[in-house]
């Protein structure tokens, strides 16, 4: 799928959600990251590390879909 500028994103996420028991760590994350430099900024506890752990397949998401270089993170 191409992004708005016609460039195929290297990372996509749709409705990503991650729960740790009753605690919500990620809620409805949607993004398209094109090739090149990117930074994720936010305060402590915002979910930055959790997002990257999900994208790397180190932890599983509660729901949602994501791809990295076209590969589904769930496989």
Asked if the structure places residue 6 within a domain, the reply is no
CA distance 70 to 67: 5
Range of the domain at 20: 11-72
5 in a structural domain = no
In a domain, 22, yes or no: yes
* pLDDT above 70 for 60: yes
**CA end-to-end span of the chain, whole Å?**
19
Total-model pTM: 0.85
Instruction: Give the count of domains, the chain.
Output: 1
pLDDT at 1 > cutoff 90: no
Mean pLDDT, to the nearest integer, of 52-71?
Answer: 96
Residue 62 zone, left/alpha/beta (φ > 0; ψ -120 to 50; rest):
alpha
- Tens digit of pLDDT for each residue in 32-56? 999 997 789 999 999 999 999 999 9
**CATH number of the domain within which 23 lies:** 3.40.50.300
């Amino acid at each position: 799928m191409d992004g708005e500028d016609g460039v195929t994103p290297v990372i996509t996420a749709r409705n990503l959600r991650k729960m740790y028991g009753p605690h919500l760590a990620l809620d409805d994350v949607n993004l398209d990251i094109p090739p090149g430099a990117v930074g994720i900024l936010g305060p402590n506890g915002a979910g930055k590390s959790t997002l990257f752990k999900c994208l790397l397949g180190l932890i599983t998401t509660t729901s949602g879909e994501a791809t990295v270089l076209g590969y589904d993170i769930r496989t």
